[in-house]
Chains A and B, each alone.
With several copies, the nearest count.
Chain A
Amino acid sequence: MTLPVLKQIIEAALIAAGDPLTLERLLTLFTEDERPERADLLAAISELETDYQTRGIELVEVAGGFRVQVRTSVAPWVARLWDERAPRYSRALLETLSLIAYRQPITRGEIEEIRGVAVSTSIIKTLTEREWVRVVGHRDVPGRPALYATTRTFLDYFGLRSLNDLPPLAAIRDPNHVLEESLVRQTASAMMTNQENNDEPRIKHH
């Protein structure tokens, strides 16, 4: 068997897989003596990305690797192929998911404290079943409540490469700055950005 053009193999693999493929996974398609350099692989991927600019598909990078997907501009037509509508998620579920995404690792109790209402078991169950969220440990307090974090599947589903790609959280304004506005406008804004940075998700995904 003569080795076909590298780009053709990579393209076919990405289009057949559906799910994202990492560079490592792509390398396993070749026997040792056929195996390309990572640089060549990356070059082929980048060429494909350019090739697709006029096509109905696009190549994107998400947390789980590289993925070929239907170009967003034609997606509404392609969606008509399928009968079912995409599931809609309640505000309660999305708020819970956001809290887990931005504040992970977080317990159910902590989510309830911020939302001011109980989090239903079925929400946690849906999030876990979809593999968007999983238990990463337990907080060492009485009851040892489970700590939840988001998964790579979550990032892939929402087309994100990492938690850093999440839309930024709105800044918290210091309530005192209304009273002492003239005094501390400068410092207050400095504090705000500071606080914002602290809220950034801090878990690294591989």
Chain B
Amino acid sequence: MPGQTTMLEHAETSAGAMLLDATLTGVLPQEPLAMVQGEPLLKLPLDLYIPPDALEVFLDAFEGPLDLLLYLIRRQNLDILDISIAEITTQYMDYVDLMTELRLELAAEYLLMAAMLAEIKSRMLLPRSHETGEDEEGDLRAELIRRLQDYERFRQAAQDLDDLPRLERDVFTVHAAIPPGHSQRIPPDVDLRELLLALQGVLARADLFTHHRVERESLSLRERMSQVMAQLQGGGFLGFTDLFLLEEGRSGAVVTFLALLELIKSSILELVQTEPFAPIHVRLRESPQASDDLARAETDH
């Protein structure tokens, strides 16, 4: 199968898969973990504490029990048709036990697969006096192999699909304008009510997940945030005080001030003051390169 190497690579490169190697065997492949006093560190200490969130990343690296099983099989360079159920079951259980030990919630699918593997394994251990029993064991094994094969080909198909050149990423459509004076495309009308109903819908859905709750903030603050950013678009500095307009009065100043605080908190703006009591300047936060320039400019000052 042409896809096997790429799939193996995929699993190997994922952080989770590397971690699995580390946790199950205590050894990472080739790449040194780190350089310690000039010596490459190849072995992970066996008693190393693995933070649970790292294992969650690992769990995320797999698309379910079939994906994990395929990884375990490929890791041993085995053909699906040649797998030893006993071997694979042991490895799969090691993994499941590890997750349970860390009290990580395992999706039901993983436990179901564990039960199925245990079933096949136990049937293999039974004395094969009855021909029927032998067949059942064979059937279960064949069924597992069939499922693994079937899943593997669609896993490959998904990757092939992802490799196809597609719009927005590899292929771009063209849009020559029509010279003025000729009928143009007429965009559809939108009623404000439609817009608000759409928002009501999305909020109702978002509220189902408490962590996605949309906070309540005054819209004038949001609007001012956009206005301040628009003023700073050129990329230069603006004087802090220049952002406040006298004719807006006290309430305008408060809104502007809150908008500035919010923008600074969200890592969009930065304040610069070259020395104590010097005028404060505001600008959009730039890439690290630009910050370096700023630092240099400041020392030159």
The answer to whether A170 and B107 have CB atoms under 8 Å apart is no
Partner of B222, one of A72, A102, A170, A172: A102
Partner of A147, one of B64, B186, B229: B229
- Interface range on chain A: under 10, 10 to 19, 20 to 34, or 35 or more? 35 or more
Q: Residue B267 at the A interface, CB < 8 A?
A: yes
Partner of A116, one of B109, B145, B190: B109
Interface centre among B166, B169, B226 (most CB of A within 10 A): B226
The answer to whether A167 and B161 have CB atoms under 8 Å apart is yes
Q: Residue A173 at the B interface, CB < 8 A?
A: yes
The A6-43 residues at the B interface (CB cut-off 8 A) are 12, 15-19
Smallest beta-carbon distance A123→chain B, Å: 11
Q: Residue B101 at the A interface, CB < 8 A?
A: no
Chain B residues in 8 Å Cβ range of A104: 222-223, 225-226
Q: Residue A139 at the B interface, CB < 8 A?
A: yes
Interface string of A155-183 (1 = CB under 8 A from B): 01111101110111110110100111001
The answer to whether B178 and A70 have CB atoms under 8 Å apart is yes
Residue of A nearest to B270 (CB): A140
The B1-41 residues at the A interface (CB cut-off 8 A) are 1-3
The answer to whether B229 and A89 have CB atoms under 8 Å apart is no
Chain A residues in 8 Å Cβ range of B142: 175
Chain A residues in 8 Å Cβ range of B195: 94, 97-98, 101, 158
Of the 9-residue stretches B84-92, B152-160, B273-281, which lies at the interface with chain A? B152-160
The answer to whether A86 and B220 have CB atoms under 8 Å apart is no
The answer to whether B252 and A116 have CB atoms under 8 Å apart is no
Q: Residue B212 at the A interface, CB < 8 A?
A: yes
Interface string of A110-152 (1 = CB under 8 A from B): 0001111110111000000010000011111100100101100
Partner of A114, one of B81, B150, B232: B150
Interface string of B214-233 (1 = CB under 8 A from A): 10111110111111111111
Bound together, the chains give a CA A160 to CA B167 distance in angstroms of 11
Chain B residues in 8 Å Cβ range of A116: 64-67, 109, 113, 147, 151, 205-206, 209, 212
Chain A residues in 8 Å Cβ range of B147: 114, 116
Smallest beta-carbon distance A60→chain B, Å: 8
Chain B residues in 8 Å Cβ range of A69: 171-174, 176-179
Residue of A nearest to B215 (CB): A169
Chain B residues in 8 Å Cβ range of A187: 192
Q: Residue B168 at the A interface, CB < 8 A?
A: yes
Chain B residues in 8 Å Cβ range of A180: 193
Bound together, the chains give a CA A25 to CA B198 distance in angstroms of 33
Chain A residues in 8 Å Cβ range of B127: none
Of the 9-residue stretches B44-52, B243-251, B292-300, which lies at the interface with chain A? B243-251
Bound together, the chains give a CA A97 to CA B199 distance in angstroms of 9
Partner of A140, one of B64, B218, B285: B285
Bound together, the chains give a CA A159 to CA B173 distance in angstroms of 11
Q: Residue B165 at the A interface, CB < 8 A?
A: yes
Bound together, the chains give a CA A75 to CA B174 distance in angstroms of 12
Partner of B179, one of A70, A138, A144: A70
Bound together, the chains give a CA A67 to CA B185 distance in angstroms of 18
Chain B residues in 8 Å Cβ range of A172: 146, 149-150, 153, 196, 199-200, 203
Bound together, the chains give a CA A66 to CA B149 distance in angstroms of 38
Bound together, the chains give a CA A121 to CA B167 distance in angstroms of 10
The answer to whether A75 and B158 have CB atoms under 8 Å apart is no
Chain B residues in 8 Å Cβ range of A17: 175
Residue of A nearest to B167 (CB): A157
The B94-110 residues at the A interface (CB cut-off 8 A) are 107, 109
Q: Which 7 A-B pairs have the closest CB atoms?
A: A117-B64, A149-B226, A98-B199, A94-B198, A18-B175, A86-B169, A94-B158
Q: Which residues of A contact B (CB under 8 A)?
A: 12, 15-19, 57, 60, 67-72, 75-76, 78-79, 81-83, 85-89, 91-92, 94-95, 97-99, 101-105, 113-118, 120-122, 130, 136-141, 144, 147, 149-150, 156-160, 162-164, 166-170, 172-173, 175, 178-180, 183, 187, 199, 201-206
Give 16 A-B contacts (CB < 8 Å), ordered by A residue. Answer: A15-B174, A57-B174, A68-B174, A72-B170, A72-B171, A75-B181, A104-B225, A105-B222, A114-B154, A116-B209, A158-B165, A159-B165, A168-B216, A172-B199, A179-B197, A201-B255
